Amino acid sequence: MHVDPEILRLVAFLVGVIAFAALNAAYLVWLERKEAAHIQRRIGPKEVGPFGLLQPLVDGIKLMTKQLIVPAGVDPVLFKIAPILVMVPAIMSFVAIPFSDTLVARNLDLGLLVIFAFASVNVLGLLLGAWGSRNKYAVISAARVVSQNVAYEIPMLVTVVTLVMISGTMNLSEIVGLQMGGFWHWNILNLAASPLMPVAFLIFFVCMLAETNRAPFDMAEAESELVAGAFTEYSGMGFGVFFMGEYANIVIGASVATILFLGGWDCPFGLFPGVHWFLIKMYFLIFTVIWIRWTFPRTTFYGLLNLSWKILIPISFVNLILTSAMLKVF
Amino acid sequence: MGTQNIQPAIVQFAQLDKLLALGRANSLWPMTFGLACCAIEMMATGASRFDLARFGAEVFRPSPRQCDVMIVAGTISKKMAPAVETLYDQMPEPKWVIAMGNCAISGGPFVFEGQYGIVEGADKLFPVDVFIPGCPPRPEALIEGILELEEKVTGSRRWPRVEVG
């Protein structure tokens, strides 16, 4: 019997992508709890399995067997579809991400565009869930999430446009290919293209934090103000899927930052490039995201919007104009 | 109401039930909810010296929809009682209640002839699984209470009981 290798490849990548997303979502929760504990001079989960490594499994069992409450008065369709709308686009974005020069599910010419198109569905899922659960805290949270995401998409996309101008392509594999050969070739240090590239990376990273609703910009789930924000009415796995979607989005954000600025799978010293370098850089960025969450207090909502509209957007536009001028002159 | 009245399943899966019980016992998420001074001891339990996180029970969820155990930490005044009952009703099954401190057990020092403002014990409002005596109980006592609840859920104790000499 002849089986088309393309179909086998498709199935292998489908299983691989879903497993990667789900495992990351589960074990990043463990990493977050351990890291939070050590930052606060605690030990963190240690009794459930060695180093508490079975904690995500146990939490998963608990969440899956918990009663799913659909409160009276909610919009049943929106309430049930919202967690899926957060999780599915996050998994689908993995399709376009090149982990190494051969390990990519689909080498799309417009990979960057695909990822940002899927990433913008995330906010829609949160909005629908919060609106559908007909809870005052959830609706306030939804309003905040939307204005926050609108404010931070702009500097993020302007920064990405800058990078696309430098690279001349939206194919993620080609963007990495242009940065091969050591850390002085990476876009973060590409000072010949624009002296503001390290700042551009900082803008991208801050916007990534805000887009994934992570502290210090976690306006969506501001526990001290809004109970649990958009997730207030979700119990059991409905909440679990939201939570996993959040971590999957962080993985996507860290991967995109690695590809665009940190040279993807390139080794900093020009030796043995490969998927391990991609993972090292990605997990370092994720570690930093968690580190920031547990060491910085939450900003006020006005501070959040002011940071975007008054600081990040002007700087990213300056960078855009500077880069285009440099590209034209040199 | 309460976990006591759930009918057992018609078809029994002993091993699977044990696995589910293990899962539930090791991920008891309490509610971010305190009524009086016992809540301060509850916060101390979550902090670095006593570290409730070791047992996977540090995830204090602010919304009752995501909680497994309600730690009634403090005096329940009659004015607060409806709110406490609402919180209990909003928690999804399976759910447990720990009554922490003498006030939550029986009204504590507030019980006297002619008192009009205090609910004399959380068990007047809803079924309670574990009682932790003390005024307020030490953080170690709360951890022992959580371990006791784990024993109630799984049927076996995590560590051998310490003999008081």
CB contact under 8 A, A69 and B92: yes
Task: Judge contact between A261 and A38, C-beta under 8 A.
Answer: no
Is residue B43 within a helix (H) or strand (E), and if so which, with residue range?
helix B38-46
Q: What is the mean pLDDT of residues A54-66?
A: 88
Under 8 Å between Cβ of A27 and A290 = no
Q: Which residues have a Cβ under 8 Å from the Cβ of A98 and sit 6 or more positions away?
A: A104, A107, A111, A172, A173, A176, A259, A264, A265
pLDDT of residue A14: 86
CB atoms under 10 Å from CB of A135, counted, come to 25
pLDDT of residue A158: 92
Report yes or no: B122 and B88 within 8 Å, Cβ to Cβ: no
Q: Which residues of B touch A52 (CB under 8 A)?
A: 54, 56
Q: Are B97 and B122 in contact (CB under 8 A)?
A: yes
Give Cβ neighbours of residue A83 (< 8 Å, ≥ 6 apart).
Answer: A125, A129, A234, A238, A241, A242, A245
Interchain proximity A66–B94, CB inside 8 Å: yes
| pTM: predicted TM-score of the whole model, two decimal places | 0.85
Q: Answer whether residue A99 shows pLDDT above 50.
A: yes
| A chain contacts of residue B65, beta-carbon cutoff 8 Å | 69, 228, 232-235, 239
pLDDT at position B1: 43
Given CB atoms, is A58 within the 8 Å cutoff of chain B?
yes
Q: Is A308 on the interface with B (CB under 8 A)?
A: no
pLDDT of residue A1: 67
Cβ of residue B32 closer than 8 Å to a chain A Cβ: yes
- Residue whose token pair is 């993020």: A156
User: What is the spatial distance between Cα B108 and Cα B74, in angstroms, rounded to a whole number?
Assistant: 10
Query: What Rg do the C-alpha atoms of chain B give, in angstroms?
Result: 16
Q: Say if residue B103 carries a ligand binding annotation.
A: yes
Span A311-325, pLDDT tens digits: 999 999 999 998 888
- Give the β-pairing of B69-73 and B130-132: unpaired
Which pLDDT belongs to residue A299? 84
Put simply, the answer to whether A236 touches B51 (Cβ < 8 Å) is: no
CA separation for the pair A237, A209 (Å, rounded): 24
CB–CB contact B22 A61 (8 Å) = yes
Residue A228 to residue B63, Cβ atoms within 8 A: yes
Please state, in angstroms and rounded to a whole number, the distance separating the CA atoms of residues B82 and B84.
5
Those residues with Cβ within 8 angstroms of residue B144's Cβ, 6 or more apart along the chain or in another chain: B132
Contact A14, A84 (CB under 8 A): no
Q: Is A200:A319 a contact under the CB 8 Å cutoff?
A: yes
Q: How far is A129 from chain B (nearest CA, A)?
A: 15
Report the amino acid identity of residue A55: Q
CA distances from A135 to A75, A267, A283, B62, B146 (A): 11, 49, 36, 14, 31
Report the percentage of chain A scoring pLDDT > 90. 12
Q: What is the pLDDT of residue A191?
A: 77
CA angle, B43 as apex, B38 and B46 as ends, to 5°? 130
Q: Which of B27, B47, B53 sits opposite A62 (nearest CB)?
A: B27
pLDDT tens readout for residues A269-312: 867 778 888 888 899 999 999 999 889 888 888 888 898 899 99
What is the rounded average pLDDT of the residues A59-76? Answer: 86
Helix extents (H) in A94-196: 111-119, 121-132, 136-167, 172-177
Nearest Cβ partner for B62 among A48, A223, A233: A223
Consecutive 10-residue averages of pLDDT for chain B (165 residues): 61 80 87 88 89 86 89 91 91 90 89 89 89 90 90 82 73
Asked whether residue B37 is marked as a ligand-binding residue, the answer is yes
Q: Is the ipTM of this complex over 0.85?
A: no
Q: Is B86 on the interface with A (CB under 8 A)?
A: no
Of the candidates B63, B94, B158, the beta carbon closest to that of A232 is on B63
Domain parsing of chain A, residue ranges: 70-329
Q: Is the separation of the CB atoms in A228 and B62 below 8 Å?
A: yes
pLDDT score, position A329 = 81
Contact check, Cβ <8 Å, B66/A231: yes
pLDDT tens-digit series, residues A120-160: 888 888 888 888 888 888 888 888 888 888 888 899 999 99
Phi and psi torsions of B31, nearest 5°: -90, 140
Report yes or no: A80 at the B interface, CB cutoff 8 Å. Answer: no
